[in-house]
Structure 1
Amino acid sequence: MDTHLLIKIVHMTGASLACLAVFVRAFTLFKGVQGNMPNPAMRTLFVALQHGAMTLIALTGIVLLWMKNFDAEPWFYAKVILFLVLLSSLGKAYRKDDSMLLVQRRAGLFIAAGSLAAIIVLIMLKPNFG
């Protein structure tokens, strides 16, 4: 099997795991919340799944970009910015700070879900911004 194809499959698997992790971890902001903090049940597993998936996406994405000699389409830069928005908003939603209101955490989750949906749309459409 071609190395590029193999890394692309691993990258897409990481993206699927990330979608699953964001979706499953979202329930912790709606069920079993304790004050302004998310539900602590299975927190370690969800955090590990989300961090592992995001790390896998970033590493395989960098390798794929390197394999293409850093020749990227214009929509790729929008995807990178949306990925950074995704990471930032997830960090805001699940921060270990009790002073953040639950509504702020849910807003961070909503922004993360929107950026994840936008990334998927960008990948499917591959628009030409030029």
Structure 2
Amino acid sequence: MEAQLLVKIIHMSAAGLAIVAILARAMTLFIGTQGNLPNPVARKPLVALQHLAMAVIALTGIIALFLKNFEVQPWFYAKVILFLVLISSLGKAYKKDDSILLVQRRAGLVIAVISLIAIIALVIIKPTFG
């Protein structure tokens, strides 16, 4: 199997895993919350799953860039920015700080889900800018 195709399959599998992890972890902001903190049940496995998926996505993305000699389409830059927004908003939503209100955590989750949907739309549509 060609290296580029293998990296792409791993990248897409990790993206699917990230979607599952984000949705599973989102439930902790709605069911069994404790004060302003998410539900602590299964916290460690969900955090590990999410971190693993995001790390594999970033690593395989960098490898794919290298294999393509850094030749990318213009929409790729929007995808990278949306990925950074996704990581940042998930960090805000699940930060271990009791002063962050539950509504702020849920807003961070909504922003993360919107950026995830936008990333998926960019990959499917592959728009041409200009």
Pairing 1:1-130 to 2, within 5 Å after superposition:
1-130=1-130
Paired residues, number:
130
Whole-Å separation in 2 of the counterparts to 1:73 and 1:4: 16
- Offset at 1:4? 0.8
Runs of 4+ in 1 over 6 A off after TM superposition: none
Unaligned runs of 5+ in 1: none
Query: Taking every aligned residue pair, what percent have the same amino acid on both sides?
Result: 66
SS of 2:98's equivalent? Answer: coil
Letter in 1 for 2:107: A
Deviations 1:80-121 (A, max 9, x none): 000000000000000000000000000000000000000000
Whole-Å separation in 2 of the counterparts to 1:89 and 1:20: 17
- Offset at 1:19? 0.5
SS of 1:23's equivalent? Answer: helix
Unaligned runs of 5+ in 2: none
Whole-Å separation in 1 of the counterparts to 2:51 and 2:77: 22
SS of 1:85's equivalent? Answer: helix
In the superposition, the TM-score normalised over structure 2's length comes to: 0.99
In the superposition, the TM-score normalised over structure 1's length comes to: 0.99
Deviations 1:29-83 (A, max 9, x none): 0000000000000000000000000000000000000100001100000000000
- Offset at 1:20? 0.5
SS of 1:96's equivalent? Answer: coil
Whole-Å separation in 2 of the counterparts to 1:20 and 1:72: 28
- Offset at 1:23? 0.5
- Offset at 1:26? 0.2
